[in-house]
Amino acid sequence: MSDSVLVTSDDVRTRFSRAMSEMYRAEVPQYGTLMDLVATVNADVLASDAGLRARLERTDDLERIDLERHGAIRLGTAEELSTIRRLFAVMGMAPVGYYDLSVAGVPVHSTAFRPVRDENLAKNPFRVFTSLLRLDLIEDPKLRDEAGSILARRRIFTDRALAMIERHERNGGLTSDEADLFVREAIETFRWHGEATVDAETYRALATAHRLIADVVCFKGPHINHLTPRTLDIDAVQAGMPQRGIAAKDVIEGPPRRACPILLRQTSFKALEEPILFRGEDGATPGTHTARFGEIEQRGLALTPKGRALYDRLLASVRDEGRAGADFTGRLARAFEAFPDDHDEIRRQGLGYFRYVLNDARPAHAPRNPAGTTMEDLVAGGYVAALPIVYEDFLPVSAAGIFQSNLGGQEQRAYAANANQTAFEADLGVSVLDPFQLYAETEARSIAAVRAALWQAA
Ligand code: OOG
Ligand code: NI
C-alpha cells in the first residue's frame, strides 16, 4: 500500500535541487567554495542581526534560505522547451514571466520555471531560468539551417525520464521510488558533456555568429550553466570572493544596497575555460569552451508595476550615463534616493507587495466597521503586520549583464528589439504566468484571510 503513495511535488523538487547542487559542486569546485562563503556570511548576518532573524522566521524565509538556489539552462528547439515544461511540472514548477534578451545582444528569449504559491515557495523556491535560442536571429541562412539540423538530431531527455514524466501526468504524481528514478534520470539532461557533437570548424563558425549559439548547438544537452545560492549580504560575499581565489564580476547588478532591499541584486564569477573534445576525421581534437560560471544573489521586496516603473526609470538614468563612468556605485545610490527606503512609506505609495498577518499580541476586539477599515488602519492599530513579499523572479537588465560578463564582454551584437512572447508561448505549449498577478494574488489572499479571522470568526 505504502508503495503506491504519491510524494508531493515539493518533495520531488527538493530532491532534485539537492541532486543538482551535488552534481554542480562535483563538476565546478568554485561553486562549492562559493556555497561555503555564502553559508558563512549568512550565519554571520543572522548572528549579528536578531531583528532580521526574527523577520525571516516570520516570513518562512529562514527555513528555506540554505536550500534556496536557482539555475539556468539554454535550449535549442521548441520541442525541448515544451518537454522541459512537462519535466518541471513534475516538481511543481510553472513558467513565470517572459524575458526578451535580444535587446541586450543575446539571441534568446526566456522564462523562469518556479513554484508559484506561498506554501510551495516556503518549502523550497528552486527556480530555473530557461532560455530558448532564437535561430531566426542568425543572419547567415546556411549557418542557420546547419544549426537547426544539428539541433533536430539531438535527444536531450533519457527514455526513462520521459517515461516518468508521462507517469506523473497519468497518475497525478510519482511514488517515492519513481521520484528517485525521475531525479536520477532528469539530472542527465543538465549534466556537462566534455565532448562536442560537432567538429572544431563548425563550432568556430557558430561561435563567430554568437558564442551563445555555439554553447547551445554544439553539445549533447543543455548543461546547467550556473547555480545560484541566496545570500543575506551580497556586498560581504562580493568582498569575500577574491580572498577565496574567486574572480568576481566588478559591479553588482540591480538596485544599490538599501535598508529595505528591493527586487534582486546579483553578482557572478567569470565563466571557466574548460577543456573539451571536438569531433575530428581521425579521432577527437582538443579545444576549450567557456560556459559555466557561478553567481550569487540577494532577494528583496517584490515591486508593484508602479514600483517597478520607478525602479526601471532610476536604473536607466544611471546606466544612460554609462556604467563604465566613474563611481557607478555612488551614482546608483544617489539615483535611488528617490525610492523610499522604508516599508511603511513603500506601502503607502503602493510601490511594493506585502503579506498581511495577524499579530499574536493585538487588541482584543476587532474594529467595528469592517467595510470602512483599511489594511493601513489595521497596521496602525496593531492588529496586523505587513511583511514584505520576496521577489521570486529575475531582472532582464541584470540577466543581460550576467550573460555579457560571461561572454567576455566581446559580444556586442545589436539585435533590434523584437520581443516575441506569442512565438515563445507557442513553442512552450502554454502561456507564461504574469508575475505581478501572482504577487497581487498572494497579497489579496493574505488580506482575505486577515479579514475572515477578524470579522467572520464565530
Ligand atoms: C542566464 C542568465 C540569467 C539570472 O540570474 O539573471 C540568470 C544564462 O546565462 O543562461 O540566470
Ligand atoms: Ni542566474
Mean pLDDT, rounded, for 325-341: 89
Mean pLDDT, rounded, for 49-73: 84
Residues with CB under 6 A from ligand 1: 72, 74, 129, 131, 225, 266, 295, 394, 398-399, 402-403
Q: What is the pLDDT of residues 411-452, one digit of tens each?
A: 556 676 677 999 999 999 999 999 999 999 999 999 999 999
Check whether 232 has a pLDDT greater than 80.
yes
Higher pLDDT, 38 or 61: 38
What is the reported pLDDT for 218? 96
Domain at 2-301+393-429: CATH code: 3.10.180.80
Give the number of the ligand closest to the Cα of residue 399: 1
Q: Give me the interface pTM, i.e. the ipTM.
A: 0.99
Give the number of the ligand closest to the Cα of residue 74: 1
What is the reported pLDDT for 412? 58
Which of 106, 127, 134, 402 maximizes ligand 1 atoms within 8 Å of its Cβ, making it the mutation to test the pocket? 402
Q: What is the pLDDT of residues 242-283, one digit of tens each?
A: 998 888 888 899 999 999 999 999 998 888 889 999 998 888
List C-alpha distances in Å: 147 to 84, 177, 206, 216.
20, 38, 8, 9
Q: How confident is the model at residue 1 (pLDDT cuts 50, 70, 90)?
A: very low
What is the reported pLDDT for 97? 97
Closest to 6 in 3D by CA, of 133, 174, 166? 174
Q: Which ligand 1 atom is the nearest neighbour of the CA of 406?
A: 9
Q: Identify the residue whose cell numbers are 506561498.
A: 118
Secondary structure, 3-state, 322-364: CCCCCCHHHHHHHHHHHCCCCHHHHHHCCCECEEEEECCCCCC
What is the reported pLDDT for 408? 61
Which of 226, 227, 270 maximizes ligand 1 atoms within 8 Å of its Cβ, making it the mutation to test the pocket? 226
Q: Identify the residue whose cell numbers are 570548424.
A: 201
Closest to 19 in 3D by CA, of 185, 198, 162? 185
Percent of the chain with pLDDT over 90: 72
Q: What is the pLDDT of residues 350-409, one digit of tens each?
A: 999 999 999 999 998 999 999 999 999 999 999 999 999 999 999 988 887 777 777 665
Q: Residue 279 has which C-alpha cell?
A: 569531433
287: β partners: 276
How far apart, in whole angstroms, are the C-alpha atoms of residue 236 and residue 228?
16
Determine if the pTM surpasses 0.80.
yes
Check whether 137 has a pLDDT greater than 90.
no
